[in-house]
């Protein structure tokens, strides 16, 4: 508690709230920090719950230096306020002391909404729809909640117990979940439209982008997204591993490979300062003896009798060969196009679902959010998209009633 007191006392409670502007969820940071200063953690959590239902999760994994803390006035002359740590503390305290997730739930209005996908966008949409009085059913293709939070973020970076408690509190709002049901395979969009007043699509875009280079289909070449999602464990002791990419997924993949015993090299096409990964995650990776090669890229992968060889080229044209056993690509993701194409709604050239300014697709009453509409791929941006989806669905259904 003394540590938290020190952290909250460091905040200046700026009237212009630049930290709030830097938060994708628009959390009212000065207000909840002020309440925490006063020891009123219940009200502090209540302020947070106006904008997020993933407090304990976002407080741990958000790229703070690019968002809230990166906009903190304190950063101009020193270290920023540790906003994430304060948020996580409040969220954990709320779970421990069973603070209500929402203190102002509306009466059931008799309308039903289906949410496809139980990731941060889907869970956030479902939670705020319940707050607004809707009956909500989530359809999830896996047998667990969380989506990318669960299968994309390694356990050593985000405690599973925190996630499970967070998800349970959301579901306990009165949300029904149907597991092991995949859209386009086990259920159709037409079925959902016939049964529900509105549908929210939030099934993500987790197919790894792999460049069209020679050797991309070799046995030990993987997309990092699919590999992390599979939760597969392999013995990499004494193996050379290359991870291509400079984002958080690349750092997660590199650290997972290191724990499997691999000698890991991260290859990134630009300067270190251009990496999208959290600076903290890069620093931790370096401490774990993960090597980095900047301003370089993989041009081809060739297999011989014993192992693979990767042909690398630097941005200034220098070429060389690196012996490798496994290659993981973490250079972005895309939707499963065969699914988005068969839904009968408009998509863009890359397979992402097109929506209007209110997140409605080309089909009336069908909305979409999160990665599947090309939202920025962080948990906070996905959660914001889900939350706004709930309010947009509410506005749409209220207009129909008029």
Residue 333 contacts residue 371 (beta carbons within 8 Å)? yes
Residue in the block written with tokens 């890229």: 297
- Which pair of tokens denotes residue 401? 């009633």
Higher pLDDT, 306 or 79: 79
295 against 16, higher pLDDT: 295
Task: Say which residues have a Cβ less than 8 Å from residue 21's Cβ, sequence separation at least 6.
Answer: 71
Q: Is the separation of the CB atoms in 372 and 337 below 8 Å?
A: no
Cβ pair 19, 72 in contact under 8 A: yes
Q: How far apart (Å, rounded) are the C-alpha atoms in residues 83 and 369?
A: 26
Selection from 291, 331, 330, 327 nearest residue 308 by Cα: 327
Short-list 136, 116, 130, CA closest to 185 = 116
Q: List, for residues 235-280, the tens digit of each pLDDT value.
A: 999 999 999 999 999 999 999 999 999 999 999 999 999 999 988 8
The overall average pLDDT reported for the chain is 93
Which fold would CATH assign to domain 2-96? Fumarate Reductase Iron-sulfur Protein; Chain B, domain 2 (1.10.1060)
Dist CA 227 CA 327 (whole Å): 11
329: helix, strand or coil: strand
Question: Tokens 């959660």 belong to which residue?
Answer: 383
The rounded distance, in Å, linking the Cα atoms of 156 and 42 is 29
Does the pLDDT of residue 29 top 90, yes or no? yes
Give CA–CA dist 202/117, Å, rounded. 5
Residues 146 and 167 sit within 8 Å (Cβ to Cβ): yes
Token pair listed for 122 = 């889907």
pLDDT reading at 133 higher than 70: yes
The CATH classification number of 208-332 equals 3.50.50.60
CATH level 3 topology of 112-205+335-401: FAD/NAD(P)-binding domain (3.50.50)
What are the tens digits of pLDDT across the range 293-352? 999 999 999 887 767 888 888 888 888 888 999 999 999 999 988 888 889 999 999 899
pLDDT at site 76: 83
Contact 337, 351 (CB under 8 A): yes
Question: Which pLDDT value is given to residue 247?
Answer: 94
Q: What is the pLDDT of residue 107?
A: 94
Residue 123 pLDDT class (50, 70, 90 cuts): very high
Q: What does the pLDDT read at residue 170?
A: 98
User: Tokens 């106006």 label which residue?
Assistant: 50
Quick one: pLDDT at residue 1? Answer: 64
- CB of 378 closer than 8 Å to CB of 204: no
How sure is the predictor about 88, in pLDDT bands with cuts at 50, 70 and 90? very high
Beta strand 198-201 with 366-368: parallel, antiparallel or unpaired? parallel
Which among 246, 248, 279, 370 has a CA at the least distance from the CA of 66?
279
Residue 208 has which token pair?
A: 């790894």
- Residues 189-212, mean pLDDT to the nearest whole number: 95
Q: Which of 11-15, 33-37, 296-300, 304-308 has the lowest mean pLDDT?
A: 304-308
φ, ψ at 183 (rounded to 5°) = -65, 135
- Rg of the chain over Cα atoms, rounded to whole angstroms, equals 22
Judge whether 153 and 120 are in contact, CB under 8 Å. no
- CATH 1.10.1060.10 boundaries in the chain: 2-96
Lowest-pLDDT choice from 27-31, 65-69, 138-142, 288-292? 65-69
- 147 by Cβ neighbours in 10 Å (0-12 / 13-18 / 19+) ranks as buried
Contact criterion met (CB below 8 Å) for 281 and 248: yes
* Cα–Cα distance, 349 to 351 (Å, whole number): 6
Q: Indicate the pTM of the whole model.
A: 0.93
Residues of the chain with CATH 3.50.50.60: 112-205+335-401, 208-332
How far apart are the C-alpha atoms of 200 and 115, rounded to whole Å? 5
- pLDDT for res 402: 62
Backbone φ and ψ of 17, nearest 5°: 50, 55
Express each pLDDT in 40-54 by its tens digit: 999 999 999 999 999
């Amino acid at each position: 508690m003394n540590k938290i007191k020190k952290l909250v006392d460091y905040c200046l409670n700026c009237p212009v709230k630049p930290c709030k502007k830097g938060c994708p969820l628009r959390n009212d940071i000065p207000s909840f920090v002020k309440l925490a200063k006063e020891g009123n953690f219940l009200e502090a959590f209540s302020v947070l719950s106006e904008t997020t239902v993933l407090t304990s999760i976002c407080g741990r994994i958000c790229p703070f230096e690019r968002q809230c803390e990166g906009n903190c006035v304190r950063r101009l002359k020193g270290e920023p306020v540790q906003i994430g740590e304060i948020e996580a503390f409040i969220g954990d305290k709320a779970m421990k002391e069973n603070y209500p997730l929402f203190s102002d739930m509306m009466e059931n209005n008799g309308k039903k909404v289906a949410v496809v996908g139980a990731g941060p966008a889907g869970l956030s949409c479902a939670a705020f729809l319940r707050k607004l009085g809707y009956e909500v059913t989530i359809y999830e293709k896996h047998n667990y909640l969380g989506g990318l939070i669960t299968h994309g973020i390694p356990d050593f970076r985000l405690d599973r117990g925190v996630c499970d408690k967070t998800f349970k509190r959301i579901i306990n709002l009165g949300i029904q979940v149907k597991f092991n049901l995949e859209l386009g395979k086990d259920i159709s969009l037409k079925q959902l439209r016939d049964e529900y007043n509105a549908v929210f699509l939030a099934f993500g875009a987790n197919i790894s982008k792999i460049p069209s280079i020679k050797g991309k289909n070799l046995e030990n070449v993987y997309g990092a997204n699919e590999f992390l999602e599979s939760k597969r464990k392999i013995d990499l002791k004494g193996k050379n591993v290359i991870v291509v990419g400079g984002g958080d997924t690349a750092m997660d993949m590199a650290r997972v490979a290191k724990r499997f015993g691999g000698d890991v090299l991260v290859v990134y096409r630009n300067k270190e300062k251009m990496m999208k990964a959290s600076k903290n995650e890069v620093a931790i990776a370096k401490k774990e003896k993960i090597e980095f090669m900047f301003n370089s890229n993989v041009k081809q992968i060739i297999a011989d009798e014993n192992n693979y060889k990767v042909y690398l080229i630097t941005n200034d044209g220098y070429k060389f060969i690196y012996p490798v056993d496994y290659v993981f690509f973490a250079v972005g993701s895309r939707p499963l196009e065969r699914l988005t194409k068969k839904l009968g709604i408009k998509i863009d050239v890359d397979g992402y679902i097109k929506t209007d300014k209110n997140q409605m697709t080309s089909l009336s009453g069908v909305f979409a959010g999160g990665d599947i509409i090309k939202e920025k791929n962080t948990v906070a941006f996905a959660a914001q998209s889900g939350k706004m989806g709930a309010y947009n669905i509410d506005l749409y259904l209220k207009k129909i009633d008029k």
